[in-house]
Structure 1
Amino acid sequence: MGKIFGKQLAFLLFIPILLGIFGSCDNTPPKTGTLMDFVPENTSVVFKISNFENLQADIQNNSLLSKFEKTLPYSFFTEKAALLKNLHPTSQSLLCINKVNDSVSAYTYISKQTKNLFQLDSLKNKTIETLTLDEQSFQRITIDKEIAYSAIIDSTFVVSSSQQILLDILNRKTERNETFKKVFNLPSSNEFTALIRGNKVALNDSTKAAFTSWSAMDIAITPESFVASGITLATDSIPQLLNVFEDQVPQQNDASALVPTDALGAVSFTFNDAEKFQKNLRKFRGEKEAVQTTGIFGSVSEVGSIQLKVGSAVFLKSIDAALTADALARYVSVKNSFREIDIKSFSEPQLFQKTFSPFITSKNENYVFQLENFFVFTESEITAQQIISDFQNNNTLKSTSYFKNTATDLSSASSLLIFKMKGEFSEAISGFFNVKSSAEIDKISFDEFPLAVLQFSYDRNFAHVTLSCKEAGAVAKSVSGTVSEKFNLKLDNAILGNPQIFNNQNNGSNVVVQDVTNKLYFITESGKTLWSKNLDSPILGAIEAVNISGNKNLAFATKDAFYILDRNGKEAKGFPVKFKDNVTQPLSVFDYDNNGNYRFIIVQGKEVLMYDKAGKTVKGFGFEKAKSKIVQSPVHIRMGNKDYIVIAEESGKLNILSRVGKPRVSVSKNFNFAEIPIAEEDNTFVVITKENTKERISQDGKISSQKLDIGTNYWFAIDGNVKVTLDDNLLRINGKLAELPLGVYTKPQLFNVHRNTYISITETQEKKVYVFNKNGDLLNGFPVYGTSAAFLGEGNGNSSKNLVVKGDEGNVLMYSL
């Protein structure tokens, strides 16, 4: 299909769109008062920005956009812009881009004037001059050789890199189109919104076609992805390609099941009325003569092209393969066979160009073969053989993790779907960033971005649009509602155990995770690894957060040692405590009075060792050894004003002890302990046995038994007044049933975050993470992608929450709630 996007479509590749409603032009000067009234005439794009400083950071941290740090308009956003980096708006601001010529763009920044918006007093290497031109007074500001022009107009601060643009604004030569005003005033809760003047689409090397009119969009930028969605509008006053989908219902796109993973790109478009679609295309092309092809395309719902390194291909997806084969019969004859697939010669190679131009312009499809309900036309037998091989080997785009990741942002049905693969989107990107030469763009590698997708779904006189471009490592599913992906970090090796969140009151949220080489990583909330530490063996159970001398520390045990590390990875004084005999249970941490006077319990087979926060053995603890192997980590339970230490033995004996290790409750019955930890419920000790019996022991030793009618996958957990049970796919939270889809689930976990209790659970086959509140309600935006049990903790903010979970092998995912 040639180069789908040219430099004029650059904004469409990177900025999907909201609805704009057209009106007539108004040549009267605007009434000033809103930011919109100062938008320069003929602006190419207007960015509406709620938090300018946050946006600058987001763009700098984005692994795709940051590649263009030496280009425009990227430099307008970054802190490297000497003037813009000194702006500190407290409300919405606008950044307008005007194209001066093919290689030069000018910016104009607009914001309400506030006291601290733009302070130059402390800056060095600055010059400020007051100029008067055409009876208009303004300032010329020079900072580190960067020149800009500014003025305050009706309490609005305007600064531009172009003197002429500022003069035009002072003389009320601004964007007056009523359609722009209506688009500008569309409501949006997004912090970063862009409005785009209609652009032409470069459909091939020699032809450009008008595609759409005024557009608007919301953009979401994370360190590894650039995702946006919205609506675009075409007008009937001039021919625009979007209108060829009029009266067509978007159909399901299945091109990803055919496109080889090493393709450079593909295009898919759909229709439900082939004859009407062709009529619309002829009208767009200005043709009157009809091409009689509906016999072939009447049973087709999807058409497209694939660009490969070895050539190109055109494909049809039939809703009735037998009908399509019959319609094609007069054009084909058997040529060869490859892997039991007939490759036939095709006598009408110009058919697709005649029928579907400008979507398809190639004229050399000389061969055809059938793969299930796809009919594929290629230029050569070599290309045919590659597509057949990849299809049979399931080596197609649909099977990749990065497509599955991207597909969650897309609708299953659309009018037009465009794939750019293997970083082959530099033409469009260079246009967006106004790169001055192809040599400059050629120096930038996009290999880590295997797929960019642009999707249009026609709906009456407009189209919904979605764009998704993500780094290969960003394999988490896109999320909606109140959940967003913070980072996706790939470690050098597979992950051992589950990642956890470690909260530090001064440094927000961190992640701790161990890999299969026993290396421990400490990762910031932004996905940066602060340090790593090689350990002797795997960590047993969870890492505990303890507060020692006013600082948060990590406490855990391996089979050989007991560690306490500070947040810099340094070992606390007196640690690690090394052992000759193996540690057999995860570390238990008791803080009886919540005053930081910790007791750390190490289990070695039958023996119990108690340490203080200095790594010294606590003297006077009377329970040193059980009569049989200890099968669970000891538990501290407080009832009323009494403390109990509970220790379960392999023999079935339950020891309920005082703080000093003396027997406190005598239990006359032995139990066949399951893995479910002993818990407290209604001032009784609760034991769940392997025989699915719930045993309650009162503080005076009385026992009551209840036979549970449960399945094979059962779990019981309780925290304060929140009780959770899982019975196969039946999750109950304080008695409220949440029936989950059938699957294999991790144990439900309870987390206290910002004084609220949350429950997380993961379905490991479909790789979906669910989070519920204590009322049994699924939180907005869930489920999200994840492959392990998930951990919740406090985020960097008064009410923000973070969730960390495994992604694909070796990947750590953090979401923000």
Structure 2
Amino acid sequence: MGKILGKLLAFLLFIPMLLGVFGSCDKTPPKTGTLMDFVPEDALVVFKISNFETLQADIEANSLLSKFDNTAPYSFFSEKKALLKNLHPASQSLLCINKLNDSLSAYTFISKQTKNLFQIDSLKNKTIETLQLDEHSFQRITIDKEIAYSAIIDSVFVVSSSQQIIQEILKGNTERNDTFKKVFNLPSTNGFTALVRGNKITLNDSTKVDFTSWSALDVAISPEAFSATGITLATDSIPQLLNVFEGQVPQQNDVSGLVPTDALGAVSFTFNDAETFQKKLRNFRGEKEAVKTTGIFGSVSEVGSIQLKDETAIFIKSIDASLTNDALARFVTSKSIFREIEISSFSEPQLFKQTFSPFINSGTANYVFQLDNFFVFTENESTAEQLISSFQNNNTLKNASYFESTAKDLSTASSLLIYKMQGEFSEDISGFFNSKSSAGIKDISFDKFPLAALQFSFDRNFAHVTLSCKEAGATAKSVSGKVSEKFNLNLESVLLTNPQLVDGNYGSSNVLVQDIANKLYFISESGKILWTKKLGSPILGKIETVEIAGRGDKQIAFATNDAFYILDRNGKDAKGFPIKFKDKVTQPLSVFDYDNNRNYRFVIVQGKDVLMYDKYGKTVKGFGFNKAKSNIAQSPVHIRMGNKDYIVVAEENGKLNILSRVGKTRVSVSKNFNFSEIPVAEEDNSFVVITKENTKERISQDGKVSSQKLDVGNNYWFAILGNTKVTLDDNLLRINGKLAELPLGLYTKPQIFSINRNSYITITETQEKKVYVFDKNGELLNGFPVYGTSPASMGEANPKNLVVKGEDNSVVYYIID
């Protein structure tokens, strides 16, 4: 959308700003002696200041404005401080900025003359000369080589850095425009008001158009933010872009739900009568012929553009998506499907430029896709995929932690809304500095100001204006800001297993996944396939991370239907592995580390048989439980209560074996259970079994059994890890007793990950393909849900990593900021 926002930010730095009007030819000298009568002709901005000294302190304390202390020529509160610091007005004062040429500006200060207004008698390094202009006299004041010119006219004190300006004021050549007088006399309860002359604004980095005449903005400055609210007026004497919104009722702006958080900015404009709006735009452009839009925009209420790093996307928001789809049908041809979203080619790439110029000047709307009621047009298919990913992952401006505080300043509906992101208003501002300071401004960091917003809402013959720019402070930094997609990797074949993050060396997390060809992939954090290994059959259950050498080098361990593998980080078999089996392995691998000393015991189940191996691949001969009486229903688990170790083996006939380390019965259980898929767990120093009948059976350490019938549905799940307990009953997720009610849907089993003494719970809704991550307090992490089609895995070494299946053959890797 160009540089309108940067210029509005710039006026707070006493820089010529974006809006303009022609002055009248009335040269009658003022007689009233009011401050307004001494405003110099062609002033670009006039500040009405209630407390001049307080304003100086506020500007110096503001974390954005203070960055410009050393820039020229508009740093009047720094370079001109020798003079301005000696001004002590007792009532309202004006500070006016005039642009003398492309590289030089001048200030003019106006206030009622009082005894203590300007006292320089005690100053050293000063000279005062009296000059004459016709019947008027004025003074040239030099303080520390800084020169200014002053006069007292009708009890009003005027001082300017320009001799030419002070002479024109003495002649009566001051700002006489009627529109200026209107905005000057508007009531204000604020101590700092900016009256800003309109001029040509830059749209789409190239086209300059007249936008409005004069604006009156009440400015609020705090150490971490500044904002402005007020009105702006356009004139009918010349075409001005603001007037195209006349007669249009401002509509709701929803583009924040579409703009990726890594975008550079966005523009949204709205209308309730598309035909009238387009007609006014044609009149503004001086066109007579109407562009044939075949009704595309008749069901549209919001249009705009999103500035990305490499291109600009265009969007329209429909109030009836079916009507818009019908209108677009003749211009689109299906090209591809990405994450179940159809991307089509669009045969009228110039349509938006022809219809909405100068708001939109892009003629490269080559592709189109639909997200809810939004229809988005991009130059490249890859950009379409990026926007779809960001939208599905909720990685959009609306979900950013810093957006809420800015949104509070804005109306939900407006005529024109402009976002500038990533501190990208710096280049807009720099264009108003001379060549030396333009180079210097690029060294200023705006990272702490991720969003600035400017909003216009047309109302009768004027528009309400709101500007907001806030620092992302400590509150925003203390919560998870967003979830970003690091890579989306397509593999050769459809995935067989769910992608899993495993701990790597030096705190890294790598992805392991197997495809339907039984090929195992080991993928780096950056999305590079480090190695693959062809296996004989599918991996059973979870891949475990072990450290059999004890030197910090980690390995992966898992079982397939016919083998037990331990691989190093290069995909090489550990010594003594793999162990091949003639009989089928029937349960996932169990790994026990009784004393956390890496003296691992690996348990393989083959029907009724239990085989235990050490880390060298040797059979553990001291383990006495070799065979059950019926097939084993679950992978054996190790449970520690106090200083006692228990190995729990559940059989299909209902028998629960609770064994010691050496495989002997440690707890005798007389009752049989109809085991479900939920593993036997420990809760409150008791063994817990959830049966297929949804009965919760508690077995004490002396073998006593108590039963509780659970009032839950058929999709109930129970999981516990350390002090974190999670249950899922249809869409009712409870984490440590706190209810997190999910939208109705089909959910995967919740998984608990213990990371750096914190617990995280992941769960995926498989119909809408949304992945949720909660903390142990039952709070959804900021930025979720994101796109995914399988249970999600979090890296044990780093809580900022998450991996999930995307399309049938793709792995999606997320970073949680």
Compute the displacement of 1:119 (Å): 1.2
Please say if residues 138 and 151 of structure 1, whose CA atoms lie closer than 8 Å, have aligned partners that are also in contact: yes
Q: Give the Cα–Cα distance (whole angstroms) in 2 for the partners of residues 57 and 6 of structure 1.
A: 23
Distance 1:166 1:3 in 2: 32
Rounded Cα–Cα distance in structure 2 between residues aligned with 1:435 and 1:129 = 33
Amino acid at match of 1:234: A
Are the aligned partners of 2:245 and 2:277 in contact in 1 as well (CA < 8 Å)?
A: yes
Q: How big is the shift at 1:194?
A: 1.3
Give the letter for the 2:308 counterpart. L
Q: Distance in 1 between matches of 2:379 and 2:40?
A: 49
The within-5 A match list for 1:328-339 is: 328-339=328-339
What are the residue-to-residue correspondences of 1:390-401 with 2, within 5 Å? 390-401=390-401
Distance 1:432 1:407 in 2: 28
Counterparts of 1:211 and 1:432, CA distance in 2: 18
Q: How does 1:197-212 map to 2 (within 5 A)?
A: 197-212=197-212
| Other structure's SS at 2:75 match | helix
Pair 1:313-2:332 in alignment: no
**Residue in structure 2 matched with residue 768 of structure 1 by the alignment:** none
The Cα of 1:328 is off from its aligned counterpart by 0.6
| Residue 124 of structure 1: aligned partner | 124
Report the Cα distance in structure 1 between the residues aligned to 2:130 and 2:14, rounded to whole angstroms: 39
User: What CA deviation, in whole Å up to 9, does each residue of 1:46-85 have, x standing for no partner?
Assistant: 1110000000000001111111112357522358611001
Q: Please tell me the residue identity of whatever aligns with 2:237.
A: S
Q: Is the Cα contact below 8 Å between 2:15 and 2:97 reproduced in 1?
A: no
Give the secondary structure class of the aligned counterpart of 1:76: coil
- Tell me, yes or no, if the aligned pair for 1:16 and 1:230 is still in contact at 8 Å: no
Report matched runs for 1:668-679 at 5 Å.
none
Report the 3-state secondary structure (helix = DSSP H, G, I; strand = E; otherwise coil) of the residue aligned with 2:333. strand
**After alignment, is 287-296 or 169-178 more displaced?**
169-178
Kept in 2, the 8 Å contact 1:269–1:303? The answer is yes
Pair 1:492–1:368, CA change in 2 (3 A) = closer
Q: Could you list the per-position Cα deviations for residues 644-702 of structure 1 after superposition, in whole angstroms to 9, with x for gaps in the alignment? A: xxxxxxxxxxxxxxxxxxxxxxxxxxxxxxxxxxxxxxxxxxxxxxxxxxxxxxxxxxx
CA contact (8 A) 2:27 2:174 kept: no
2: CA distance, partners of 1:493 / 1:180: 47
One-letter amino acid of the counterpart of residue 233, structure 1: L
Correspondence for 1:323 = 323
Provide the C-alpha distance between the structure 2 equivalents of 1:330 and 1:125, rounded to a whole number of angstroms. 78
- Cα distance in 1 for residues equivalent to 2:131 and 2:431: 34
Quote the Cα distance in structure 2 between the aligned partners of 1:340 and 1:14: 51
Alignment of 1:647-796 (within 5 A): none
Deviations 1:521-540 (A, max 9, x none): xxxxxxxxxxxxxxxxxxxx
Structure 1 segment 21-170 matched on structure 2, within 5 A: 26-72=26-72, 75-78=75-78, 81-170=81-170
Deviation at 1:108, TM superposition (A): 0.7
Change (3 A) 1:264 1:20: closer
Preserved CA contact (<8 Å) 1:199 1:213: yes
Aligned equivalents of 2:79, 2:28: Cα separation in 1: 38
Q: Distance in 2 between matches of 1:108 and 1:3?
A: 26
1:365 is aligned to 365
CA drift at 1:324: 0.6
How far apart in 2 are the matches of 1:385 and 1:491? 31
- One-letter identity of the residue aligned with 2:159: V
Q: Matched residue of 1:334: which SS?
A: strand
> Structure 2 counterpart of 1:181, which letter?
K
The whole-number CA distance in structure 2 between the counterparts of 1:439 and 1:474 is: 31
Offset at 1:128?
1.6
CA contact under 8 A between 1:14 and 1:467: conserved in structure 2? Answer: no
Q: 1:300 — aligned with what?
A: 300
Tell me the residue number matched to 1:253.
Answer: 253
Residue number in structure 1 paired with 2:354: 354
Give CA deviations for 1:486-520 in whole Å, capped at 9, x if unaligned. xxxx79999xxxxxxxxxxxxxxxxxxxxxxxxxx
Deviation at 1:174, TM superposition (A): 1.3
How far has the Cα of 1:154 moved from its partner? 2.0
Which residue matches 2:229? 229
The 1:75/1:388 distance shift into structure 2, 3 A limit, reads: same
CA distance in 2, matches of 1:294, 1:249: 23
Deviation at 1:27, TM superposition (A): 3.5
Match of 1:385, as an amino acid? E
Q: Aligned ranges for residues 288-687 of structure 1 at < 5 Å?
A: 288-431=288-431, 437-473=437-473
- Aligned 8 A contact 2:10 2:16 in 1: no
CA contact (8 A) 2:15 2:432 kept: no
Closer, same or farther: CA 246–435 of 1 in aligned 2, 3 Å: farther
Contact 1:5 1:202 in 2 (8 A): no
C-alpha distance after superposition, 1:226-268 (max 9, x if no partner): 1001111111111110011111110000000000000001000
- Aligned to 2:157, the other structure's residue is in SS state strand
- Contact 1:9-1:199 at 8 Å conserved across structures: no
Which range moves more in the overlay, 31-40 or 320-329?
31-40
Whichever residue aligns with residue 273 of structure 2, its letter is D
CA contact (8 A) 2:112 2:157 kept: yes
Residue 671 of structure 2 corresponds to none
1:493–1:83 Cα change, 3 Å: farther
Q: Distance in 2 between matches of 1:226 and 1:385?
A: 36
Contact persistence 2:28–2:172 (CA under 8 A): no
Q: Which residues of 2 match residues 806-817 of structure 1 at below 5 A?
A: none
> Could you say which residue in structure 1 is the equivalent of 2:500?
none
**Counterpart of 1:77 in 2: which secondary structure?**
coil
Q: Which residue of 1 aligns with 2:178?
A: 178
Q: How many Å separate the matches in 2 of 1:418 and 1:350?
A: 23
- Asked if the contact 1:366–1:380 (Cα under 8 Å) also holds between the matched residues in 2, the reply is yes
- Find the counterpart in structure 1 of residue 262 from structure 2: 262
Q: Partner of 2:349: helix, strand, or coil? A: coil
TM-score by length of 1: 0.56
Q: Classify 1:13/1:337 alpha carbon distance in 2 versus 1 (closer, same or farther; 3 Å).
A: farther
Cross-structure match for 1:594: none
Give 1:29 deviation, angstroms. 2.1
Between the aligned partners of 1:126 and 1:402, the Cα distance in structure 2 is 49
- How far residue 32 of structure 1 moved from its aligned partner, in angstroms, is 3.7
Cα contact 1:227–1:468 (8 A) shared by 2: yes
- 1:178: how far off? 2.8
Residues of 2 paired with 1:151 and 1:422: CA distance?
45
Q: Indicate conservation of the 8 Å contact 1:212/1:233, yes or no.
A: yes
Report the 3-state secondary structure (helix = DSSP H, G, I; strand = E; otherwise coil) of the residue aligned with 1:344: strand
Tell me by how many angstroms 1:443 deviates. Answer: 1.7
When residues 450 and 8 of structure 1 are mapped into structure 2, their CA distance, relative to the original with a 3 A threshold, is: closer
Equivalent-residue separation in structure 2 for 1:172 and 1:86 (angstroms):
27
What secondary structure, in the 3-state scheme, does the structure 1 residue paired with 2:172 have? coil
Closer/same/farther in 2, CA of residues 466 and 432 from structure 1, 3 Å limit: farther
Amino acid in structure 2 at the alignment position of 1:172? G
Contiguous gaps of at least 5 residues in structure 1 = 477-489, 495-742, 745-786, 788-817
Report how many residues are paired.
484
Change (3 A) 1:377 1:342: same
Letter in 1 for 2:108: T
Letter in 2 for 1:77: F
Distance 1:20 1:144 in 2: 35
**Backbone CA RMSD of aligned residues:** 3.1
- SS, match of residue 296 in structure 2: helix
The unaligned stretches of length 5 or more in structure 2 are 482-737, 740-778, 780-817
Native 8 Å contact 1:353 1:362 kept in 2 = yes
Are the structure 2 counterparts of residues 57 and 190 from structure 1 closer, same or farther at C-alpha, using a change threshold of 3 Å?
same
Quick one: percent identity of the two aligned structures? 79
TM-score (normalizing by structure 2): 0.56
Between 421-430 and 452-461, the greater mean CA deviation after superposition: 421-430
1:118 and 1:491, CA in 2 relative to 1: closer, same or farther beyond 3 A?
farther
Partner of 1:195: 195
Residues 570-589 of structure 1: per-residue CA shift (max 9 Å, x gap): xxxxxxxxxxxxxxxxxxxx
Between the aligned partners of 1:143 and 1:21, the Cα distance in structure 2 is 35
Residue 283 of structure 2: aligned partner:
283
The separation in 2 between residues aligned to 1:84 and 1:296, in whole angstroms, is 57
2:735 alignment partner in structure 1: none
Alpha-carbon distance, 1:430 to partner: 2.7
